[in-house]
A and B are shown apart, each in its own frame.
Chain A
Amino acid sequence: MAMRTAISSRILSRAALPGARSMSSWWRSVEPAPKDPILGVTEAFLADPSPDKVNVGVGAYRDDNGKPVVLECVREAERRIAGNLKMEYLPMGGSVNMVQETLKLAYGENSEFIKDKRIAAVQSLSGTGACRLFADFQKRFRPDSQIYIPVPTWANHHNIWRDAQVPQRSYHYYLPETRGLDFAALMDDVKNAPDGSFFLLHACAHNPTGVDPTEVQWREISYQFKVKGHFAFFDMAYQGFASGDPERDAKSIRIFLNDGHFIGISQSYAKNMGLYGQRVGCLSVLCEDEKQAVAVKSQLQQLARRMYSNPPLHGALIVSTILGDPDLKKLWLKEVKVMADRIIGMRTALRESLEKRGSTLSWRHITDQIGMFCYSGLTPEQVDRLTNEYHIYMTRNGRISMAGVTTGNVGYLANAIHEVTKSA
């Protein structure tokens, strides 16, 4: 006992203890990080006192009054699950029910792959979480691979694969001259990439451009992917939101499945169920057989365990309550179509509004493009003018969130865009 005390007091004997007050911070050299280009827009918008301000920045749906929407089917589902007797941990792979219903949306209601249990699937933290899990999985099991990312893409895609330490390459996608798809260059890039490359594809409603391949073009892409043995990873964040019909919006995926590809898919309920802050999504990887699917799923779960242990319960319960009840599911499909139709209506309204003001520029891309976003073609300087002179907030790449456009502000928006572009 005396010996032990002696040892401890010897260790501490040098301790003249003003404590840690005299030490300087460990974080002296930490630089302030740049604001997130997308989420920073909303912060700036909120700080603006102008009564005319318009937020067409972040891709969150608004109704025609500019208000966020909670779907009726979601409210009903929440009523049913409130007072839930348990808040226990979900399994690492998340809610099995929710995942099963989610796979049906992507792969088809009667998909043979689901029946044959060939899909390794886990609940994820919305689309971001699904992409990140896949990127980490790709790094771990295909450490020599890279990811081909379209230009442009959602800015966070770059952050995700960078933090997963997977090297990035780019492929042509958007053609500024046409404000459409640069199909020829895209196909060249697909052909020139080394065999067996990994590609990130937006399943529908490309973010930020709203430019999607046609069905014919998707078939060609799929064919070339087979020739080259490439791996297709689909980010599907807007199923149902693009055309109003989830089956139609999944066409690209179904083409690839039909052609025999072993794809990966990230699915999100942030927009199409309005569950943004609940962080609900799903990552799936199609495998050769059930045994492989079990192995892959187990590895995905390990990655999740090291990040957050298991995914959040509430949002998953909402999804499985809705999709598991035929009436609620029908209601959901109706509500999704309403959202998609309103956006399509606003596209038409914005284009007509600009043309009516006598703009000599072509605005047909506003109605050609699909989904939540319109890649307006505005330059960063023009965007800055919109913000500084008109209190209109959007990301500097000229991306307009059509969900933020209403019958109330479309005229003001068109006027402002016309003003900043008429000398262009």
Chain B
Amino acid sequence: MESQGSCSVFDHVVRAPEDPILGVTVAYNKDQSPIKLNLGVGAYRTEEGKPLVLNVVRQAEQTLVNDKSRVKEYLPIVGLAEFNKQSAKLIFGSDSPAIQENRVTTVQCLSGTGSLRVGGEFLAWHYLERTIYIPVPTWGNHPKVFTLAGLSVKTYRYYDPATRGLDFQGMLEDLNSAPAGAIVLLHACAHNPTGVDPTLEQWEQIRQLIRLKGLLPFFDSAYQGFASGSLDSDAQSVRIFVADGGECLVAQSYAKNMGLYGERVGALSIVCKNADVAGRVESQLKLVIRPMYSNPPIHGASIVAMILRDRDMYNEWTIELKGMADRIISMRHQLFEALLARGTPGDWSHIIKQIGMFTFTGLNSEQVAFMTREYHIYMTSDGRISMAGLSSTTVPHLADAIHAAVTRVA
């Protein structure tokens, strides 16, 4: 029988471009070359180039599986209570007065992305200012997440290509000219993609300016523990803001620091002036979450809660985490030395100065394309490489590629 409307109502839909970051892995997977190297997405790899499930995570999972009394019921809309409590302690410090005063609301979300989206939508619904300032550059997905959340996105200067470091003056000037109440996205540590972080002194100045101007800080903390190897050091930027009694939002992700990538585990915390406000804010967060996915997935959060609660597992985690952070720092040094040894033109010291999983090489998109074509190196076109994807055996290949790109491509 002929159908009346033989045309789909979505006939006009065009194919979306590949996600610039996740698309790198798609392209990498298609490549048949045995020497291909994926330095695109920020997923940790071992020295052997393998993904890593932390021992402590494995243990936790096995315990969960063996526990016959465990069920798979819906979590509350705000997620697993123990997970929320432990996550807040992790980022704010177990002695944080804000937690003790019950003025923090923490809700489990789908990793960092989900926390940012829920926070952004809450702000779009309930906050007086609907503009968020994001640094240039930032994680490619930030502007898209906030735009779909209903915020309008503006930028502040951050990275200085000339020094491959922080454009501190530019940052302060731009924040200074933001309207009162504007939201400011801050990378808590290990800025993605540049690896350039303010010093603690600079953070203090940023804090003063933000409080003076009445701006609202929204921290993205995706690498706590991964930057320096110390969970507490990596949380300092957030903690100095909380210590002054003011309000802020924090998105936490366990994708990298617990290797839970695909389980989508994260938390959004909103630090409020007092407990009453925090309670009301939490009730409104539920209204944002319910029409998105009703309640968050249980598995990953159960693993995290178990590890954070148990002193031995927590300690073991910190050791494994430091191991990952140290390996990345070692890769930085190896790459730097390999470029020195090749006499590659230019100053490459930013490789060892930058922090966290990524290095912003300073390579341009033509050079990147060349490296992909000729050397089967996969990275994002902004010149960002994931150090976590390198090993001692692959560093020479990358160094060769960079050397060739810099000397043969403008």
* Residue ranges of A at the interface with B (Cβ–Cβ < 8 Å): 4, 7-8, 11-12, 14-15, 17, 19-21, 23-33, 36, 39, 43, 58, 60, 68-70, 74, 78-79, 82-92, 125-126, 128-129, 132, 136, 141-142, 156, 159-160, 162-164, 196, 226-229, 231, 259-262, 270, 274-279, 285-288, 292, 294-296, 298-299, 301-303, 305-315
Contact (A27, B277) CB under 8 Å given A60-B73, A277-B295, A285-B10: yes
Query: Would A68 and B297 count as touching, CB distance under 8 A?
Result: no
Nearest CB in chain A to that of B50: its residue: A85
Q: Are B262 and A310 in contact (CB under 8 A)?
A: yes
In the complex, A317 Cα to B158 Cα: how many Å?
Answer: 41
Whether B211 pairs with A278 at a CB distance below 8 angstroms is no
**Residues of B contacting A313 in the complex (Cβ-Cβ under 8 angstroms):** 262-264
Is the beta-carbon distance between B126 and A30 smaller than 8 angstroms? Answer: yes
Determine how close the nearest CB of chain A comes to the CB of B61; give it in whole angstroms: 6
A132–B117 alpha-carbon span in the complex (Å):
14
Which chain B residues (326-354) contact chain A, with CB distance < 8 Å?
none
Task: Beyond A89-B43, A279-B296, list 19 extra A-B contacts (CB 8 Å).
Answer: A20-B211, A31-B284, A36-B286, A39-B76, A79-B65, A156-B291, A163-B288, A163-B292, A270-B74, A277-B74, A278-B72, A279-B297, A292-B10, A292-B11, A308-B113, A310-B22, A312-B264, A313-B264, A315-B299
In contact, A292 and B214 (Cβ under 8 angstroms): no
Shortest CB-to-CB span from B328 to chain A, Å, is 18
CB-nearest residue of chain B relative to A161?
A: B291
20 intermolecular pairs with C-beta atoms under 8 Å apart: A4-B168, A8-B172, A11-B176, A25-B247, A25-B272, A26-B216, A27-B273, A87-B261, A89-B255, A132-B293, A142-B9, A163-B291, A261-B3, A262-B10, A277-B72, A278-B72, A279-B296, A308-B114, A309-B114, A312-B110
For B9, the closest partner residue in chain A by CB is A231
Once bound together, how far apart are the Cα atoms of A295 and B169, in whole Å?
A: 44
Residues of B within 8 A of A32 (CB): 279-280, 283-284
CA distance A306 to B140 in the complex (A): 11
Chain B hits for A164, CB < 8 A: 291
| Contact string against A for B residues 1-33, beta-carbon threshold 8 Å, 1 for contact and 0 otherwise | 111111111111111100100100010000000
B58 within 8 A of A: yes
Chain A residues contacting B399 (CB-CB under 8 Å) are: none
Task: Report the bound CA distance from A314 to B394 in whole Å.
Answer: 32
Question: Contact: A277 with B262, CB < 8 Å?
Answer: no
Q: Are A312's CB and B300's CB within 8 A?
A: yes
Q: Any chain A CB within 8 A of the CB of B181? A: yes
The answer to whether A27 touches B3 (Cβ under 8 A) is: no
Within 8 A of A (CB), among B168-225: 168-169, 172-173, 176, 181, 205, 208-209, 211-212, 214, 216
Is B365 an interface residue, CB under 8 A from the partner? Answer: no
Residues of A within 8 A of B14 (CB): 295
Query: Is B292 a contact of A128 with CB atoms below 8 Å?
Result: yes
The reply to whether A229 and B205 contact each other, CB–CB distance below 8 Å, is no
Interface of A is mostly: loop
Interface string of B245-271 (1 = CB under 8 A from A): 111000000010001111110000000
Is B145 part of the binding interface, using a Cβ–Cβ cutoff of 8 Å?
yes
Chain B residues near A60 (CB-CB < 8 A): 73-74
* Least distance between B289 CB and chain A CB atoms (Å): 10
* Contact between chains at B264 and A307 (CB < 8 Å): no
| B128: nearest chain-A partner, CB-CB | A26
In the complex, A86 Cα to B43 Cα: how many Å?
11
Question: Do A126 and B294 have beta carbons less than 8 Å apart?
Answer: yes
Residues on B with C-beta less than 8 A from A227 are 4
Q: With A20-B247, A85-B51, A298-B15 in contact, do A15 and B209 touch (Cβ < 8 Å)?
A: yes
| Partner pick for B280 among A27, A132, A259, CB 8 A cutoff | A27
The chain B residue sitting closest to A160, CB to CB, is: B291
- Provide the B74-113 mask, 1 if CB < 8 A to any CB of A, else 0: 1111000000000000000000000000000000001101
Interface hub of A29, A89, A92, A160 (most chain B Cβ within 10 A): A89
Q: What B residues does A315 contact at CB under 8 A? A: 297, 299
What are the residues of chain B within 8 A of A308 when measuring CB–CB? Answer: 110-111, 113-114, 117, 264, 293
Which of B147, B272, B279, B294: most chain A CB closer than 10 A? B294
Closest 3 CB pairs of A and B: A20-B246, A260-B3, A19-B244
Contacts of B75 in A (CB 8 A): 277
**B212 cross-chain contacts in A, Cβ below 8 A:** 12, 14-15, 17
